[in-house]
């Protein structure tokens, strides 16, 4: 009896927090999404599906987000994995901590400032200027989807590196020796042992990066020159510029639904792998 | 410690340049930098409480110790705030915004906590209509002498015969072009702006991330009104914008860095930015399209339920003191409509064609209309353009 | 008749930076032997094993497998397999896939049916038939141990390496597995190399034990040879229990020496076989195994064959079943450990702490050893 009471008490702050900060706003978003924009902006109650019918007007935002988010996740994975592998398996233990700190250090600076730095690196006085020295002229990098991708990879890399690093770090190195001992060359050992055992880290990293990317708006705005439009940008504009709360809510609700579906499918996939394996369990 | 402002009035040309340099150091343009981040606003507490500098006799009333001002980036002389604190004991907390829409969104959401804010002419009727601002008690602003102000820049502050806002400064929206790339051709119109973007300047032009100016200046291509909300005319503007979009360098109101780095060659531009760019890079030419475009005026106003209204009035009054206002002009680089202030400004500044364009150019310009800002079709048009 | 050697070390040295893990070691292991490296941690035994497996390469010297030098040959190309400490089973595979792992690495890969057949044969060998689809974490420690054995043996290695294979098991299970390993080795008939710090494990299973200390071999021989003729105090101390009485050599010849302890009393002891003779005046120890020491009541007196005796007081008594261990304080000798077999206890009726007793031994059974 008493234990039950204590459990409730322990869960109280989190429950209240979730209710106030997640459930309640979500209800507002859903209610608003059926309403209409007030003449001077804002919201007036109504019950119409007009806002949802208008969704195709943001098709490009959905398309850009749903292309660049998975692409960015995949690219971050491809860069993060070898780095995490090096840190966890190959790096000299003496330098390991220092190297890990170097991965985190950029996080001490605001993402805004770091992304601004990329404006200069990718801008005309940056990489394109260096390329001119070796005879490659007319390269434009800034304000392109490529620049957005670079920014995304840069910004989210540590989020991908750390879960993978942790899963590789706790990997028993004797398993690799066992595999070699049983006749498997290093590359096959990687494929048969290291990679499958780091799947939990990969799954967590991809999930983190993908979910955050779906709501990204800063990097496309700064490195895409306002021309590469994400759902996040559409939402910022709808709420802060056109002040069309009803339409904004419909876009937000749609984004939430897409995320729920994607994440559910993803978890099902991971769970299917996990059924056969005790070591794969995320969430 | 700032010196008594009367020591350096009237100001020398050299002093003016120094003051302007100070302004230039802020690489952030007037609008939209923070808007683009979506962060909404940034807060800075100016003129931290200095012990021993409590209210002087001049302001005997109980003003409290704090006043909150919502304004644009780099739009004031910080020394003036220090002087205000020194004189009154009231610290000025500055909230910086990126767009009128954001300010409106914040006030509509309620609980802004602002005492004074800086709306642009075309927003004032909306604020009045939404019952978000208070008529001003002009007795508390003795420094506002209506007769000294150019009525063009003061009138939008009066709605239904009540004064809701007093003028701060004004400006124009034209474009700035890097003449190094124009092959000697002189650009003078909006038609040329859009046409050269599709050809020689492909990938080099920037437009604002702001429906009022970007759509307005596209409308000017066809000779329509800057403020048009006519569906057919807007459809023409949209067609032009979509056609031009692949040739744009960026849709971004923070255009100075790209112009300075040489990545962009041309951009829609507000007076102050045009002045700064031209001072540093003489090849940067500020153009007001012959077809017309926007002229605007910014105001001081007070929201309903301002928590420190007495201090708010004191601040407005202080900033409208001609001597203080002259220092403001030197800091932000925009002209004011107050003849008393202009009398204190250097001749070079008053003759500057960027700040004070020729009369025949000015006459073609239009003030933005309230309906233009709140028109949902224009907002959607810009969104379609951005997401295309 | 000597059988060919499966493993040969010739002047092998392995350094990790400044640390010398294995120092100029030469040894050979006969085909089909059960050979153990015994020593405390850091003695170089595991490094020696890893050089056979190929995980470490010698800094100097040569390692040969079946007469062929394997220096520079990676582990996956060596005909040896290892049972790892804590087994190192793959957690993402079931029992069958773990055991079949080695076969799947072959080119060409054997047919699945063939792999399955061999896996089930191996499971039968280690008495885990029908466990193919079990998950690793569902198995007990002993079962995991047997899966690790099967996973190694399925490859028919010429040499099986065992790195502290029983360390993780409880005492009873360890005993069972010791017997099982010995039986298995006889069945498969290949060379087993065991690394352990547990002398009992080494003594009970091995044909040959190599005792290492600070990277060097101290003595190699059969368990009996090591027990009966330890070359020095280190070996005598490591293999079985001994009482050591320190002193100086006062008289020495080829067969033995007299050692004078601090109390001024001199004791005779024989030289172990294969040990160098002690020199007069050098420091040495007299080693006396507790089971050769008699314990008697002063009334009954010493047995007739004993030529050393001393009065003593019982300090402590531990009943161990088939024998009883006494700790006594003996005059001129200090603390002495004595083990009395069951039958002797029956005769004397046993002693209790505080009892006055007589202890002693036969000089011919005591060893005069180098104090190393």
> What is the tens place of the pLDDT at every residue in A216-252?
999 998 899 888 889 999 998 888 888 889 999 999 9
Q: Domain segments of chain A: what residues? A: 59-275
Chain A interface disruption, residue of B197, B263, B374, B384, most A CBs within 10 A: B263
Using DSSP's 3-state secondary structure scheme, residue B374 falls into helix
Q: Maximum Cα–Cα distance for chain C, whole Å?
A: 80
Write out residues 38-97 of B within 8 Å (CB-CB) of A.
38, 40
pLDDT band for position B61 (cuts 50, 70, 90)? low
Do A184 and A67 form a contact (C-beta atoms < 8 A)? no
User: For position C173, what pLDDT does the model report?
Assistant: 84
Tokens of A71: 């692409």
A275 lies within 8 A of chain C by CB: no
Grouping H, G, I as helix, E, B as strand and the rest as coil, residue C302 is coil
In chain A, what residues touch B129 (CB-CB under 8 Å)? 40
A240 touches chain B (CB under 8 A): yes
CA distance C300 to C360: 13
| Chain C residues 133-152 with a CB less than 8 Å from chain A | 135, 137, 151-152
Residues 204-263 on B with a CB inside 8 Å of A are 206, 209, 211, 245, 248-252, 257-258, 261-263
C-alpha C349, offset from chain centre: 35
Tell me which residues of chain B, numbers 286 to 305, contact chain A at a CB-CB cutoff of 8 Å. Answer: none
- Which of C51, C78, C91 would you mutate first to test chain A, the one with the most A CBs within 10 A? C91
Which residues in chain A are closer than 8 Å to C55, comparing Cβ atoms?
177, 180-181
The tokens describing B126, both together, are 């909306």
Across residues B337-365, what is the average pLDDT? 92
Residue A278 predicted with pLDDT over 90:
no
Residues in C closer than 8 angstroms to A170, CB to CB, are none
What is the DSSP secondary structure assignment for residue B267, as one 8-state letter?
A: E
pLDDT, one tens digit per residue, over A253-268 is 999 999 999 999 998 8
Minimum distance, in Å, between the CA of residue A255 and any CA atom of chain B: 16
Instruction: From chain A, pick out residues whose CB is under 8 angstroms from the CB of C86.
Output: 174
A4 touches chain C (CB under 8 A): no
pLDDT reading at B154 higher than 60: yes
- Out of A184, A196, A277, closest to residue C76 by CB: A184
- Provide the residue range defining the domain that includes B290: 171-295+357-387
- Give φ, ψ of C207 to 5 degrees: -80, -45
User: Residue C255 pLDDT more than 90?
Assistant: no
Contact list in A for residue B376 (CB cut-off 8 A) is 37, 242, 244
Interchain CB contact of B131 with A (< 8 Å): no
Contacts of C77 in chain A (CB under 8 A): 183
CB contacts < 8 A (A, C): 67
Question: CB distance B379–A217 less than 8 Å?
Answer: no
B128 near A CB under 8 A:
no
Judge if B144 and B231 occupy the same domain. no
Quick one: pLDDT at residue B230? 96
B253 and B310 both lie in a single domain: no
d(CA A160, CA A105): 15
Average pLDDT, rounded, for chain C:
92
Indicate if the pLDDT at residue A280 is higher than 50: no
Class of domain A59-275: mainly alpha
Confidence of residue C221 (pLDDT cuts 50, 70, 90): very high
B376–A37 C-beta distance less than 8 A = yes
Q: Measured between CB atoms, does C160 come within 8 Å of chain A?
A: no
CB atoms B248 and A41 under 8 Å: no
Instruction: Please compute the mean of the pLDDT values over residues B193-209 and round it to a whole number.
Output: 96
- Rounded to an integer, what distance in angstroms lies between the CA atom of residue A89 and that of residue A169? 7
| Least Cα separation, residue A151 to chain B (angstroms) | 15
pLDDT at A273: 73
Q: Is A170 on the interface with C (CB under 8 A)?
A: no
Whether A278 and chain C come into contact, CB under 8 Å, resolves to: yes
Of the listed ranges B97-111, B233-247, C3-17, the one predicted with least confidence = B97-111
Chain A interface, mutation test: which of B268, B386, B388, most A Cβ atoms within 10 Å?
B386
> Does residue A275 have a pLDDT over 90?
no
| Number of folded domains that form chain B | 2
Residue C345: burial class (beta carbons within 10 Å; 0-12, 13-18, 19+)? middle
Residues comprising chain C, all counted: 372
CA–CA distance, C180 with C183 (Å, rounded to integer): 5
C331: nearest Cα among C308, C351, C349 = C308
> A58–B387: do the CB atoms touch at under 8 Å?
yes
SS3 assignment, position B303: strand
Query: Is B181 touching A (CB cutoff 8 A)?
Result: no
pLDDT value at position B28? 38
Q: How many CB pairs under 8 A join A and B?
A: 110
For residue C91, the SS3 value is coil
- What beta strand segments (E) does C171-237 contain? 191-196, 208-213, 216-221
Pairing of strands B284-287, B165-178: antiparallel
Are residues B319 and B265 part of one domain?
Answer: no
Q: Taking 50 as the threshold, does the pLDDT of residue C183 lie above it?
A: yes
Q: What is the residue whose two structure tokens read 């056979």?
A: C52
Residues 61-90 of A with CB under 8 A from B: 61, 64
CB B169 within 8 A of CB B335: yes
Q: In which band, very low, low, confident or very high, does the pLDDT at A112 lie, cut at 50, 70 and 90?
A: confident
Contacts of A196 in chain C (CB under 8 A): 92
Cβ pair A193:C90 closer than 8 A: yes
Q: What is the SS3 assignment for C27?
A: strand
Question: 101-120 in A: which are within 8 Å (CB) of B?
Answer: 112, 119-120
Instruction: Identify the bridge partners of residue C327 per DSSP, sorted by sequence position.
Output: C316, C337
The closest of C353, C359, C350 to C312, measured between CA atoms, is C359
- CATH number of the domain that residue B317 is part of: 3.40.190.10
What is the percent of chain A with per-residue pLDDT over 70, rounded to a whole number? Answer: 96
CA distance to partner chain A, nearest, from residue B331 (Å): 25
Considering CB atoms only, which of C92, C151, C155 is closest to A279? C92
Shared-domain flag, residues B250 and B264:
yes
Residue appearing with tokens 């009128």:
B100
Mean model confidence pLDDT for chain A:
89
- CA-nearest residue of chain C to A172? C88
Q: Is A234 in contact with B383 (Cβ distance < 8 A)?
A: yes
Q: Which of B331, B304, A178 is nearest to C82 (CA)?
A: A178
Non-local (6+) Cβ contacts of C97 within 8 A are: C90
Gap between the Cα atoms of A22 and B103, Å rounded: 26
CA atoms within a 13 Å half-sphere pointing along the CA-CB vector of C294: 24
Nearest-Cα residue of chain C relative to residue A173: C88
Q: Residue C10 has what pLDDT? A: 96
Rounded CA gap, C247 and C269, in Å? 12
- Nearest chain A residue to B381 by CA distance is A57
Hey, are the CB atoms on A57 and B383 less than 8 Å from each other? yes
Judged by average pLDDT, the poorest of A149-153, B52-56, B118-122 is: B52-56
Of B102, B126, B250, the CB nearest to A143: B250
Contact C91 A197 (CB under 8 A): yes
Measured torsion, CA atoms of residues A159, A164, A170, A176, in degrees rounded to the nearest 10: -160
Question: How is the beta sheet containing C294-296 ordered, strand by strand?
Answer: C294-296, C356-361, C308-319, C323-330, C334-341
Asked if C92 is an interface residue toward chain A (Cβ–Cβ < 8 A), one would say yes
Verify that B209 and B313 share a domain, yes or no: no
Contact indicator for C292, C282 with CB cutoff of 8 Å: no
For B28, nearest residue in chain A (alpha carbons)? A116
Degrees, nearest 5: CA angle B283-B285-B287: 165
Peptide bond preceding C108: is omega within 30 degrees of 0, i.e. cis? yes
d(CA C259, CA C276): 16
Chains with ≥3 Cβ pairs under 8 A against A? B, C
In chain A, the percentage of residues whose pLDDT exceeds 90 is 62
Q: What is the DSSP string of A184-214?
A: --HHHHIIIIIHHHTHHHHHHHHHHHHHHHH
Specify the 3-state DSSP secondary structure of C178: helix
Chain C residue with CA closest to A180: the answer is C76
In chain B, residues with a C-beta closer than 8 Å to the C-beta of A28 are: none
| Nearest chain B CA: its distance from A141 CA (Å) | 10
d(CA B157, CA B166): 6
The pLDDT tens digits for B300-321 are: 999 999 999 999 999 999 999 9
Average pLDDT rounded to a whole number, residues C311-338 = 92
Give me the pLDDT at residue C2, please. 57
- The token pair that represents C203 in the structure block: 């003594």
b/e sequence B270-290, b meaning 16+ C-beta within 10 Å: bbbbbbbbbbebeebbbbbbe
B153 and B284 share one domain: no
Domains plus CATH for chain C?
5-228 (3.40.50.300), 241-372 (2.40.50.100)
Alpha carbon C125 to chain centroid distance?
26
Mean pLDDT confidence for B234-254: 94
| Residue partners of B28: CB distance under 8 A and separation at least 6 | B73, B74, B254
Q: Which residues of B165-175 are buried (b: 16+ CB within 10 A; e: fewer)?
A: bbbbbbbbbbb
Weakest mean pLDDT among A204-218, C114-128, C266-280: C266-280
Q: What is the Cα–Cα distance from B348 to B86, expressed in whole angstroms? A: 32
* pLDDT digits 0-9 by tens, A144-196: 999 999 999 999 999 999 999 999 999 999 999 999 999 999 999 999 999 99
| Domain match, B370 and B231 both | yes
Residue C82, SS3 per DSSP: strand
User: Which residues from C are below 8 Å from A179, CB to CB?
Assistant: 90, 101
> pLDDT class for A1, splitting at 50, 70, 90?
low
**What sign does the CA torsion over A51, A52, A55, A57 have?**
negative
Pairing of strands C243-252, C256-261: antiparallel
DSSP string, A137-199: -----TTSHHHHHHHHHHHHHHHHHHHHHHHHHTS-HHHHHHHHHTT--HHHHIIIIIHHHTH
Please return the burial class of A79, using the count of CB atoms within 10 Å of its CB with bins 0-12, 13-18 and 19+. middle
Cα→Cα distances C306→A121, A222, C270, Å:
94, 98, 15
């Amino acid at each position: 009896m008493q234990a039950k009471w204590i459990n409730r008490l322990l869960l109280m702050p989190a429950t209240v927090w979730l209710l106030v900060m997640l459930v309640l706003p979500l209800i507002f978003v859903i209610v608003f999404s059926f309403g209409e924009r007030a003449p001077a902006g804002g919201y007036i109650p109504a019950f119409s599906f007009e806002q949802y019918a208008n969704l195709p007007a943001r098709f490009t935002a959905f398309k850009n987000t749903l292309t660049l988010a998975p692409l960015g996740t995949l690219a971050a994975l491809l860069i993060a994995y070898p780095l995490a592998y090096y840190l966890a398996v190959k790096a000299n233990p003496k330098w390991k901590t220092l190297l890990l700190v170097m991965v985190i250090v950029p996080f001490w600076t605001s993402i805004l400032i770091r992304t601004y730095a990329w404006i200069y690196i990718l801008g005309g006085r940056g990489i394109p200027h260096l390329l001119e020295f070796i005879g490659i002229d007319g390269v434009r990098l800034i304000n392109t989807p490529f620049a957005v991708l670079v920014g995304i990879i840069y910004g989210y890399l540590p989020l991908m590196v750390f879960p993978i690093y942790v899963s590789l770090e706790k990997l028993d190195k004797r398993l690799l020796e066992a595999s070699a001992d049983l006749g498997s060359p290093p590359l096959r050992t990687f494929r048969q042992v290291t990679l499958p055992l780091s799947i939990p880290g990969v799954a967590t990293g991809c999930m983190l990066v993908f979910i955050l990317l779906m709501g990204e708006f800063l990097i496309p705005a700064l490195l895409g020159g306002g021309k590469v439009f994400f759902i996040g940008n559409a939402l910022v504009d709808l709420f802060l510029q056109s002040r069309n709360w009803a339409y904004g809510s419909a876009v937000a609700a749609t984004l939430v639904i897409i995320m729920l579906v994607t994440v559910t499918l993803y978890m099902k996939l991971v769970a299917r792998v996990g059924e056969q394996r005790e070591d794969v369990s995320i969430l | 410690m700032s010196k008594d402002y009367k020591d350096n009035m009237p100001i020398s040309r050299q002093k003016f340049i120094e003051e302007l340099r100070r302004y230039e150091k802020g690489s952030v343009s007037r609008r939209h930098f923070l808007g683009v981040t979506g962060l909404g606003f940034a807060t800075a507490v100016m003129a931290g409480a200095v012990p021993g500098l409590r209210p002087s006799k001049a302001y005997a009333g109980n003003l409290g110790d704090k006043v909150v001002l919502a304004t644009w980036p780099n739009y004031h002389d910080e020394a003036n705030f220090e002087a205000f604190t020194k004189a009154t004991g009231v610290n000025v907390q500055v909230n910086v915004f990126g767009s009128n829409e954001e300010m409106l969104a914040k006030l509509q959401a309620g609980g802004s906590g602002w005492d004074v804010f800086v709306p642009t002419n075309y927003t004032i009727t909306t604020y009045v209509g939404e019952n978000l601002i208070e008529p001003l008690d002009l007795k508390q602003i003795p420094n506002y002498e209506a007769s000294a102000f150019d009525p063009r820049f003061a009138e939008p502050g009066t709605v239904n015969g009540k004064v809701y806002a007093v003028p701060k400064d004004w400006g124009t929206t034209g474009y700035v072009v890097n003449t190094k790339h124009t092959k000697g051709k002189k650009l003078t119109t909006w038609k040329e702006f859009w046409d050269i973007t599709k050809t020689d300047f492909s990938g080099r032009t920037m437009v604002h991330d702001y429906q009022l100016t970007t759509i307005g200046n596209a409308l000017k291509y066809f000779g329509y009104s800057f403020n048009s909300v006519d569906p057919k005319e807007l459809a023409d503007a949209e067609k032009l914008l979509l056609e031009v979009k692949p040739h744009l360098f960026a849709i971004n109101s923070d255009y100075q860095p790209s112009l300075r780095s040489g990545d962009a060659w041309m951009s829609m531009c507000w007076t102050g930015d045009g002045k700064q760019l031209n001072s540093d890079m003489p090849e940067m030419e500020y153009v007001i399209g012959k077809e017309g475009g926007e002229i605007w005026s910014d105001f001081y106003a007070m929201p309903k339920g301002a928590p420190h209204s007495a201090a708010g009035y004191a601040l407005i009054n202080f900033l409208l003191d001609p001597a203080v206002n002259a220092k403001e002009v030197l800091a932000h680089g925009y002209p004011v409509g107050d003849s008393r202030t202009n009398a204190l400004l250097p001749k070079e500044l008053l003759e500057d064609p960027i700040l004070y364009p020729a009369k025949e150019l000015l006459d073609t310009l239009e003030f933005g209309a309230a309906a233009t800002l709140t028109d949902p079709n224009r907002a959607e048009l810009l969104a379609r353009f951005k997401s295309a | 008749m000597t059988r060919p050697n499966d493993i040969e070390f010739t002047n092998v040295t392995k350094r990790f930076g400044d640390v010398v893990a294995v120092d100029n070691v030469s040894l050979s292991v006969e085909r089909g032997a059960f050979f153990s490296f015994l020593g405390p941690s850091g003695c170089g035994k595991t490094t020696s094993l890893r050089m056979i497996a190929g995980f470490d390469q010698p800094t100097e010297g040569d390692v040969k497998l079946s007469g062929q030098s394997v220096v520079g040959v990676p582990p996956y190309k060596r005909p040896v397999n290892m049972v790892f400490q804590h087994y190192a089973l793959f957690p993402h595979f079931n029992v069958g896939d773990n055991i079949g792992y080695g076969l799947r690495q072959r080119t060409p890969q054997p047919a699945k049916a063939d792999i399955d057949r061999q896996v089930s044969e191996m499971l039968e060998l280690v008495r885990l038939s029908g466990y193919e689809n079990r998950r690793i974490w569902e198995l007990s420690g002993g079962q995991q141990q047997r899966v690790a054995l099967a996973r190694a043996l399925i490859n028919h290695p010429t040499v099986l390496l065992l790195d502290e294979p029983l360390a993780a098991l409880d005492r009873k299970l360890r005993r069972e597995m010791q017997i099982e390993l010995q039986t298995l080795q006889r069945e498969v008939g290949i060379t087993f190399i065991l690394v352990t710090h547990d002398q009992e494990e080494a003594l009970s299973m091995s044909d040959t034990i190599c005792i290492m200390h600070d990277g060097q071999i101290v003595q190699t021989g059969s368990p009996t040879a090591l027990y009966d003729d330890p070359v020095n105090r280190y070996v005598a101390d490591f293999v079985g229990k001994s009482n050591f009485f320190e002193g100086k050599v006062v008289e020495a010849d080829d067969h033995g020496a007299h050692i004078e302890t601090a109390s001024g009393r001199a004791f005779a002891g024989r030289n172990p076989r294969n040990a160098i003779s002690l020199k007069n005046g050098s420091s040495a120890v007299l080693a006396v195994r507790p089971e050769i020491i008699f314990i008697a009541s002063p009334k009954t007196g010493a047995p007739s064959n004993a030529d050393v005796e001393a009065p003593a007081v019982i300090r402590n008594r531990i009943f161990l079943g088939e024998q009883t261990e006494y700790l006594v304080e003996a005059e001129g000798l200090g603390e002495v450990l004595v083990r009395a077999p069951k039958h002797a206890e029956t005769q004397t009726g046993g002693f209790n702490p505080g009892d006055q007793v007589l202890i002693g031994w036969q000089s011919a059974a005591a060893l005069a050893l180098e104090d190393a």
